[in-house]
Structure 1
Amino acid sequence: MNSVYLLIGGNMGDRFNYLRQAKDAIGKNAGKILETSAIYETEAWGLTNQDKFLNQALKIDTQLNPKDLLHCLLQIEESLGRKRDVKYGPRIIDIDILFYGNEIVSAPHLKIPHPEIQNRRFALQCLQDIAPTFCHPSLHKTIKQLLAECADPLVVNKFN
Structure 2
Amino acid sequence: MSVRLAHGIDAAPRPAPVHAVVALGANLGSRHETLAAAVDELRRLTLTTDVRVSASIETVAVTLQGEDADAPRYLNAVAVLETRLSPGELLASLHRIEARHGRVRRERWGDRTLDLDLITYGDERIDRDDLVVPHPRAHEREFVLAPWLDVDPNAEIPGRGRVADLLEKLRGGVR
Same fold (TM over 0.5): yes
Is 2:29 the counterpart of 1:13? yes
**Alpha carbon RMSD of aligned pairs, Å?**
1.5
Show structure 1 runs of 4+ deviating over 6 A.
none
Say whether the 8 Å CA contact 2:42–2:51 is kept in structure 1: no
State the alpha-carbon separation in 1 of the partners of residues 30 and 51 from structure 2. 25
Partner of 1:144: 164
Partner of 1:80: 101
Partner of 1:32: 49
One-letter code aligned to 1:89 = G
Say whether the 8 Å CA contact 1:33–1:58 is kept in structure 2: no
Mapping of residues 43-54 of structure 1, within 5 Å = 43-47=60-64, 48=68, 49-54=70-75
One-letter code aligned to 2:162 = T
State the alpha-carbon separation in 1 of the partners of residues 49 and 33 from structure 2. 20
**TM-score, normalising length: structure 1:** 0.89
Q: 5+ residue gaps in structure 1?
A: 153-160
Q: 5+ residue gaps in structure 2?
A: 1-16
Question: Over residues 45-101 of structure 1, what are the superposed CA-to-partner deviations in whole Å (9 max), with x where a residue is unaligned?
Answer: 125241000011111111101011101110110111100111111100000111111
The size of the alignment, in residue pairs, is 151
Which has the higher Rg, Structure 1 or Structure 2? Answer: 2
State the alpha-carbon separation in 1 of the partners of residues 80 and 38 from structure 2. 14
State the alpha-carbon separation in 2 of the partners of residues 35 and 22 from structure 1. 13
SS in 2 for 1:29: coil
**TM-score, normalising length: structure 2:** 0.82
Question: Over residues 94-135 of structure 1, what are the superposed CA-to-partner deviations in whole Å (9 max), with x where a residue is unaligned?
Answer: 001111111111111100001001111110111110223222
